[in-house]
Structures are given as structure tokens and as C-alpha cells.
Structure 1
Amino acid sequence: MEAKVKWVDGLCFVAESASGHQVVMDGNRGEKGPSPMEMVLMSAGTCSAIDVVSILEKGRHEVRGCEVKLTSTRREEVPRLFTHINLHFIVTGKTLTEKAVERAVSLSAEKYCSVALMLGQAVEITHSHEIIIA
């Protein structure tokens, strides 16, 4: 996997993936785009959500929505590393069961989500979920 990052101005950069997608990131309190640490947090949520939706759909559960609310704590001193991240899944669907959602979240956390598993080497990561039947 490859990517490139190009300085625009100030502390604003444009990152481009090998697939050609671009993202603006800003180290200046997010004035022009998310900060790199916000991108890391959002990446963990997206990676985990992909797993949860895929696992549930493979189990023939009708998923209508999946949202991940991420909360984090960071050190006060530099480097301002994450010390804790919680991923709270809100999964909506008609045929969802507690057992199925719990299994999907656990599989993502323990086996599939590369981003969260990598971060988990240095950060305490917790998971929670709720189900909305609709």
C-alpha cells in the first residue's frame, strides 16, 4: 500500500491514496479538514463498522443502518497519544438479535479490524453497542 501527502499551506495538507482518493487534513485545530488524529479515530470506526455490517449481512440479517460513535482520551503531554478509545455501535435493522450484533462486534474487535487491532497494541480499546429494531 502506498500514499502521498502534499503540503498546501500553513498546516494544511492533502493526502492521496494509491487509489487516487484525496483527503484534506489540517494540523491547525481542524480549520480546513480533520486533524491526523481525528482521521485515525475515524478510520478505526469505519474499519470496525465495515466488519460489523459485513458479518451481519453474511449472517442474513437485514441491516438498515450502522453508526459508530467514537469517544477517546488523549495524553495531555506531547506526544498526545490516545490512551483510551470506545467504539459504540448503533445498529438498526429488522432481524437483528443481541447475540448476532454482539458476535459481529466481537469478531471485528478480536479478529478483523486491522486499524483497531493495530491501535490496540498501545491504546485501551473498548466496545459497546445498541440495537434499534426498525
Structure 2
Amino acid sequence: MEFYLKENGVRTQLEYGELDISGNEDYGYRPFQLMIASIAGCSASVFRKILTKKKIEIEDLHITAEAERDAEHANKITKISLHFIVKGENLDKGKLEKSLELAKKNCTMVQSVKGSIEVVETLELINLSN
């Protein structure tokens, strides 16, 4: 990856498009937003692959993410909470919890921040068959 300095941040060109990064969200994505998006996106992708391999069908997956930051230490991210809301028919909470746990162990981004950022995942089911 190559990054180029611009007036209010940096820019990179990726296969999917241009990415502007700035400490001011008027000029691009803020670095902490990209960190949270990377962890949420990776977790969701790995979770979906595991569900597909286990032949667990879902209708929808929604994730909310919240970060806790330490203002006294460069405002670093200390904790990211991911709440997975899974919608489908005849969902088995136990199987989904095990799949989510396996996804956390196999998510490159979660494993990359292990020991420095606490990642907590919670699961909510919306069972359409009930």
C-alpha cells in the first residue's frame, strides 16, 4: 500500500477505490473508525463463512460496534464491543454462539489486536419461526 500526503490527511488508492484518512472526519475516515470497521468487518466475514460451512442459514446479520477509549493515553482504543443480531428461522443459539467464538479465534484483525484491545462479542437472535 502507498499513502500520499494531502492537505488534511493522507490518501491511498485501493482496488475498490480511493480512501481518504484524516483526524478530521470532514476530510476522510478517522483512523479509529477504520480500526473498528476492520475488526467488525473481519469478524462478520469469518462468522458468515463458518455459518455457511456448517450449513446454518440466516436471513440477515446486523452488527453494532462501540469503542471505549482512554483519554489519558493518547485516546487509544481499549475495548471494542460487537453486538451481532442474527435473523433467521429455527436458529439454535448454542450453535451460533460456538460459531461466533470460532470466528473470533480465526479473525485476523481480532487476533492482531489481542492483548492490547479487548474485543467483546455478544449475540442476539431474532427467530422468525417463533
Q: TM-score range by the shorter chain?
A: 0.7 to 0.9
Offset of 1:64 from its aligned partner? 1.7
* Residue equivalent to 1:14: 11
Task: Choose 123-132 or 19-28, whichever is displaced more.
Answer: 19-28
Could you tell me whether the CA contact under 8 Å between 1:24 and 1:34 is conserved in 2?
yes
Count the aligned residue pairs: 128
TM-score normalised per structure 1? 0.85
Q: Check 1:83–1:56 CA distance in 2 against 1; reply closer, same or farther (3 A cut).
A: same
* Residue equivalent to 1:113: 107
Could you tell me whether the CA contact under 8 Å between 1:62 and 1:95 is conserved in 2?
no
Q: Check 1:25–1:105 CA distance in 2 against 1; reply closer, same or farther (3 A cut).
A: same
Could you tell me whether the CA contact under 8 Å between 2:20 and 2:28 is conserved in 1?
yes
Q: Which runs of 4+ in 1 moved over 6 A?
A: none
Offset of 1:37 from its aligned partner? 1.1
Could you tell me whether the CA contact under 8 Å between 2:21 and 2:28 is conserved in 1?
yes
TM-score normalised per structure 2? 0.88
Q: Check 1:58–1:116 CA distance in 2 against 1; reply closer, same or farther (3 A cut).
A: same
Offset of 1:22 from its aligned partner? 2.5
> Is 2:124 the partner of 1:130?
yes
Q: CA RMSD in A?
A: 1.6
Gaps of 5+ in 1: none
* Residue equivalent to 1:27: 23
Secondary structure of the residue aligned to 1:4 is coil
* Residue equivalent to 2:47: 52
